[in-house]
Amino acid sequence: MKCYQEITLIDQAEISPYFLWSKIYTQLHIAFAEQTDAQQKIPFGVSFPQYVYERIEGKKPRIGIGKKIRVFAQSEEALETLNIRKWLDRFPDYVHITGVRPVPEKVTGYAVYKRKQVKTNAERLARHRVKRGDIGFDEALSRYLQVVTTTDLPYIQMLSLSTSDEQDKKRFKLFIEKQITEKSETQVFSTYGLSSVSTVPEF
């Protein structure tokens, strides 16, 4: 990745960063989705420079996304085509957006930012399974209670955009896991700007 833009949340006395991230990241997701290829992938990756996930025994865990996000691309033209400012023009008082900048020649390393999907609600999963008609609710529930997983990774609260019906839109937590790794040659990402293999530079 050769270029990036940085978005910083502006501190608000009465609005939490979690609420702002929900709005901002949803807009970024829509912007990214406009740039998808035939495999539903995009050439833009994101990083969270202030991301922290530290668990030390005997101490209060430090967990958070931070207030900055960087959007990376292989070229200045790609970021100009993405046009982040247009997608975030409803939030002039809430975010600061830099111009397109070159990635520094010296970086501190590389990281993968990936989505961590978890099965968190056994009852919801059981109800969904019962609709198939092959097993009852109690049996389905007992099965899913064995596989439900949880996580305390940093997350952004998102609104599902897969339906046009306002009543059917569902909120979900987009859990984000960071892994320090070697630079990868692959540079394709999901419509959340995340990937389980593609890296972005850290600096």
pLDDT interval class at 117 (50, 70, 90): confident
- CATH number for region 3-116+176-202: 3.30.70.2540
Long-range CB pairs of 150-153 (<8 Å, 24+ gap) are 150/118, 150/120, 151/116, 151/118, 151/175, 152/61, 152/63, 153/53, 153/63, 153/116, 153/177
Read off the pLDDT band of 141 (50, 70, 90): confident
Give 26's DSSP letter. Answer: H
Q: Which residues contact 148 (CB under 8 A, 6 or more apart)?
A: 119, 120, 121, 122, 125
- pLDDT tens track for 32-90: 999 998 888 999 999 999 999 998 888 888 999 999 999 999 999 999 999 999 999 99
Task: Give the pLDDT of residue 145.
Answer: 66
Higher-confidence position of 123 and 200: 200
Helix residue spans in the chain (DSSP H): 17-33, 76-82, 84-87, 122-130, 137-145
Coil, strand or helix at 158: strand
Backbone φ, ψ for residue 63 (5° rounding): -140, 125
Angle at the Cα of 146 from the Cα atoms of 140 and 118, rounded to 5 degrees: 95
- pTM equals 0.82
- Span 143-161, pLDDT tens digits: 766 665 568 899 999 877 6
Q: Is pLDDT at 165 greater than 60 in this prediction?
A: no
Hey, which of 53-57, 92-96, 141-145, 171-175 has the most confident mean pLDDT?
92-96
Asked if residue 168 has pLDDT above 60, the reply is no
Residue 107, pLDDT score: 96
